Amino acid sequence: MNLIERPREMQECSLKLRREGRRIGLVPTMGFLHEGHAALIRRARTLADWCVVSVFVNPTQFGPHEDFTAYPRDPQRDAELCRACGADALFRPAAADMYAADHSVYVDERDLSAGLCGAFRPGHFRGVLTVVAKLFNLVQPDVAVFGQKDAQQARLIQRLVRDLNFPVHVVIEPTVREPDGLALSSRNAYLNADERRRALSLSQALRRAEALVREGERDAERLKAAMRPILEAAAPTEIQYLEIVNYQTLRPTPQVAGPTLIAVAVKFGKTRLIDNVIVGR
Ligand code: PAF
pLDDT digits (tens, 9 = 90+) for 253-267: 999 999 999 999 999
- Mean predicted confidence (pLDDT) in 132-160: 98
For ligand 1, pick from 107, 109, 113, 131 the residue to mutate: most ligand atoms within 8 Å of CB.
131
Q: Which atom of ligand 1 is nearest to the CA of 147?
A: 1
Report whether pLDDT(165) > 90: yes
Model confidence band, residue 117 (pLDDT cutoffs 50, 70, 90) = very high
Question: Could you tell me the CA-to-CA distances from 26 to 41, 51, 67 in Å, in that order?
Answer: 8, 6, 25
Report whether pLDDT(175) > 90: yes
The candidate with the shortest Cα–Cα distance to 125, out of 245, 116, 20, 14, is 116
Model confidence band, residue 18 (pLDDT cutoffs 50, 70, 90) = very high
CB 142 within 8 A of CB 24: yes
- Mean predicted confidence (pLDDT) in 15-26: 98
- Mean predicted confidence (pLDDT) in 90-118: 98
Note the pLDDT of residue 91. 99
CB 244 within 8 A of CB 220: yes
Question: Could you tell me the CA-to-CA distances from 105 to 102, 128, 153 in Å, in that order?
Answer: 9, 13, 20
| CA of residue 61 to ligand 1 center, whole Å | 9
- Mean predicted confidence (pLDDT) in 173-196: 97
Q: Whose CA is nearest to atom 1 of ligand 1?
A: 29
State pTM to two decimals: 0.97
Note the pLDDT of residue 281. 86
Measured between alpha carbons, how far is 201 from 182 in angstroms, rounded to an integer? 9
| CA of residue 30 to ligand 1 center, whole Å | 6
Per-residue model confidence as pLDDT tens digits over 29-41: 999 999 999 999 9
> What count of other Cβ atoms lies within 10 Å of the Cβ of residue 46?
11
- Mean predicted confidence (pLDDT) in 145-152: 98
Measured between alpha carbons, how far is 263 from 223 in angstroms, rounded to an integer? 12
- Run of H or E residues at 257: none
Q: Whose CA is nearest to atom 9 of ligand 1?
A: 128
Q: Which atom of ligand 1 is nearest to the CA of 29?
A: 8
Q: Which atom of ligand 1 is nearest to the CA of 28?
A: 8
Strand runs labelled E in 45-163:
50-55, 89-91, 143-147
List pocket residues of ligand 1, CB cut-off 6 Å. Answer: 28-30, 58, 61, 128, 131-132, 150, 153
Contacts of 240 (CB under 8 A, 6+ apart): 120, 265, 266, 267, 272
At 95, give phi and psi (nearest 5°): -60, -40
CB 253 within 8 A of CB 260: yes
Report whether pLDDT(49) > 90: yes
Report whether pLDDT(107) > 90: yes
Q: Which atom of ligand 1 is nearest to the CA of 61?
A: 10
| Strand order, beta sheet including 169-173 | 2-4, 89-91, 50-55, 24-29, 143-147, 169-173
Mean pLDDT (the chain) is: 98
Active-site positions read 37
CB 54 within 8 A of CB 29: yes
| CA of residue 222 to ligand 1 center, whole Å | 33
Note the pLDDT of residue 40. 98
The candidate with the shortest Cα–Cα distance to 11, out of 31, 26, 1, 32, is 26
- Mean predicted confidence (pLDDT) in 207-231: 98
